[in-house]
Amino acid sequence: MATSVQNIIEKYNKDKTRLMDILIDVQSERGYIPKATITQIANALDISHVDVEQTMSFYHFFSDKPTGKFAVYLNDSAVANMMGRQKVKETFENETGIKFGEVTPDGLIGLFDTACIGMNDQEPAALINGQVFTNLTPFRVKEIVRDIKAGRPLDDMFTAAYGDGENRNELIKSVVVNNIRKKGPILSEDYTPGIVIWKKLPQMSPEQVIEEIKKSNIRGRGGAGFPTGLKWEFCRKAKGEKKYIFCNADEGEPGTFKDRVILTERPKLLFEGMVIAGYAVGAQEGIVYVRHEYKYLQKYLENLLQGARDRNLLGKDIGGIKGFDFDIRIQFGAGAYVCGEESALIESAEGKRGEPRDRPPFPVEKGYLDMPTVVNNVETLCAAVKVLLNGGEWYRNFGTKDSTGTKLLSVSGDCKYPGVYEVEWGFTVNDILEMVGADEKQVQAVQVGGPSGSIISSAEFKRTVCFADLATGGSLIIIGQQRDILTDIVLNFTEFFIEESCGSCSTCRNITYLMKNKLEKILDARGVKKDIDDLVAWGKILKVSRCGLGQTAGNPILTSIKNFRHLYEEKIQKDKDFDSAFDMASAVKESCIAAGRIPTLN
């Protein structure tokens, strides 16, 4: 038993910066990471026991207790619930005889909740030992549990056909479907892998590459919208022995799944984008940080990287350019939304807990292993290939003046055609609703940009999706009239932020749950007007948090108060100025039972 852990540690050269990989391998082999193994790892890496525990206890998919031979992680995000998760969950519990958070006594099945797994267009969905099961129904759950009990191997449990495109690839074999609804320059099939590396890069200096990117005006696609050319230039000019290109494929924002589709259908485009970025800034190594939920793509992606090495698209003297050496490795996360924040992502890739860093210094000066590092979104790197291929001028033909190019939207919720739409910036929300087959009269609200974005009402559907107006990393969740916005959406998203806070900032760690408690007070019909005012005031305190997660953690509540205030006002008590919401009867219930008394409360 101990040898196997030893082998894993050796595989990563006893390198403490590869602690994530070591823990991921142990977890997937054992189903958990026992205390003795933590000590073994700590000793082998020559670090403290608490160092290993610090990283391990941070990530959702690591466990110090057995998670079952079959660990079921059922998505509990808002859209999963909208699509019937509750019945699916109950069926899992009935069929296994355990509750979520437990493992069957025989150790066969474990049931766990998990945040959005990037399958919002095919919910309810679950991960079972890393394999994705989509479009779950109570019937399907019964089949799955029966198969598990019958000892069928996981790969034999798929009863539906494999998904479309590369989802059928021998190295993926997944039932996930792409749901590509609209293609543009990025999703277009008109692409020859390596074309820029062979035809363009040898004739361009790194500075010229950066100039072309700047000319295109492309801005980061993760949501923040920082000009990509400028970022590359900063990194090029920064001093460092080594430089790194990171691709942020953590895609944790609930409702976003476009990177899943790119990683499945256009990974070569992404890798080429990283090579270009590497050439431009003078980097030797690229790391794709992929969220744990997409681990089912691992063999496929690693095989493609090997293929690229064989074709001299990675490795030494790439594209025949003397001295241009660059290689890419894949780093998996282990379940932490905050790792989508670039400095937390770097920390995680260094084997640590995903706690965002203080800035300055920015990653372009001091990033991975304190070396200058560019962190770009999957989509940004893909777009860079097309910019170099066709020119920055060409790219500016798409989109608006301030937001050039196209954007991949992940559309889910109450509409006919959920999926990925590559559109030019500048569409209005109304245009998009029409495109995705949502009846405007049936739409109550649209969540733009995921939980960290804003929930808007029909009054704002004429607004434009672009950096100057409604900026978004690409998630659009359509919320029908039948939904209870405060319970189904706002409460769910607020709980998500509480779960995903790294806890480092006093504000994010505390204010979010205090706001949730107050929201629940209002939902329990114990709220008064001051509670709404408090929520608005407390939300402002979050703005001094270190990272984007903390700063936006109040947005579900704040934007719903702004755009759906009547929903709150309907629920508060009009005749009272104050209600402590303290329930004496329930507070003394336990002690009364113990003492055998019947209290007189009035």
Partner 1 sequence: MSTLVKFKIDGVECMAETGTYIVEAARENGIYIPTLCNIRGVKPRGSCRICTVLVNGRPMTSCTTPITDGMEIENNIPEINDIRKAIVEVLFVEGNHFCPSCEKSGNCELQALGYRFKMMVPRFPYNFPVREIDASNPKIIKDHNRCILCKRCIRTIKTDEGKTVFAFKKRGLHLEINVDPEMGDKFTDDMAVNAAEICPVGAILLREKGYQIPIGKRKYDHVAIGSDVEKIKI
Query: What is the rounded distance in angstroms from the CA atom of residue 510 to the CA atom of residue 498?
Result: 9
The CA-based angle 212-408-467, given to 5 degrees, is 65
Only segment of 113-121, 424-432, 535-543, 592-600 that touches partner 1 (CB under 8 A): 535-543
Amino acid 602 reads N
Minimum distance from residue 184 beta carbon to partner 1 (Å): 35
Name the residue nearer to partner 1 (CB basis): 302 or 534.
534
Secondary structure class of 521 (helix, strand, coil): helix
**Residue (of 443, 444, 448) closest to 475 by Cα position:** 448
Cα 481 off chain centre by: 27
**Among positive and negative, which fits the CA dihedral 27, 499, 120, 219?**
negative
Torsion of Cα atoms, 512 then 516 then 519 then 523, to 10°: 170
Instruction: Please identify, among the stretches 216-224, 291-299, 397-405, 500-508, the one whose residues bind partner 1 according to the rule CB under 8 A.
Output: 500-508
- Bridge-based pairing of strands 126-128 and 70-75 is antiparallel
Does 99 engage in binding with partner 1 (CB under 8 A)?
A: no
Build a one-symbol-per-residue string for 385-424: x at contacts with partner 1 by CB under 8 A, - elsewhere: ----------------------------------------
103-142: contacts with partner 1 (CB under 8 A): none
Q: Which of residues 308-347 bind partner 1 (CB under 8 A)?
A: 336
Range 46-85, binding partner 1 (CB under 8 A): 47-51, 53-54, 57-58
Residue 376 in the binding site for partner 1 (CB under 8 A): no
Tokens of 366: 């001091």
For partner 1, give the closer residue by CB, 367 or 474: 367
The answer to whether 543 contacts partner 1 (rule: CB under 8 A) is: yes
CB 309 within 8 A of CB 352: no
- Pick the binder of partner 1 from 129, 169, 428, 504 (CB under 8 A): 504
Structure tokens at 320: 């025949």
Burial of 59 (0-12, 13-18, 19+ CB in 10 A): buried
Site track 354-373 with partner 1 (rule: CB under 8 A), x = hit: -x--x-x-------------
Contact call for residue 241 and partner 1 (CB under 8 A):
no
Closest CA to 472 of 270, 291, 184, 253: 253
Tell which positions 509-528 bind partner 1, by CB under 8 A.
509-511, 513-514, 517
Judged by CB, which is closer to partner 1: 61, or 398?
61
Please tell me the count of residues contacting partner 1 according to CB under 8 A.
Answer: 40
Q: Which residues of 232-251 are buried (b: 16+ CB within 10 A; e: fewer)?
A: bbbbbebebeebbbbbbbbb
Task: Return the number of the residue (458 or 510) whose C-beta is nearest partner 1.
Answer: 510
What residue type is assigned to position 248 of the chain? Answer: N
Find the part of the chain contacting partner 1 (CB under 8 A) among 186-194, 313-321, 501-509, 569-577. 501-509
Dig out the tokens for 506 from the structure: 């006093």
User: Dihedral angle at the C-alpha atoms of 118, 121, 125, 127, nearest 10 degrees?
Assistant: -30
Region binding partner 1 by CB under 8 A among candidate stretches 10-18, 208-216, 353-361, 455-463 = 353-361
Q: Does 34 bind partner 1 (CB under 8 A)?
A: no
Would you give the distance in Å from CA 592 to the centre of its chain? 47
Out of 250, 265, 272, 500, the residue judged to bind partner 1 by CB under 8 A? 500
- Residue whose CB is less far from partner 1, 245 or 491: 491
CB 292 within 8 A of CB 62: no
CB of 359 to partner 1, least distance (A): 8
d(CA 181, CA 179): 6
- Choosing from 93, 147, 211, 534, the residue that interacts with partner 1 (CB under 8 A) is 534
195: contact with partner 1 by CB under 8 A: no
Footprint on this chain of partner 1 (rule: CB under 8 A): 39, 42, 47-51, 53-54, 57-58, 336, 353, 355, 358, 360, 498-507, 509-511, 513-514, 517, 534, 538, 540-541, 543-546
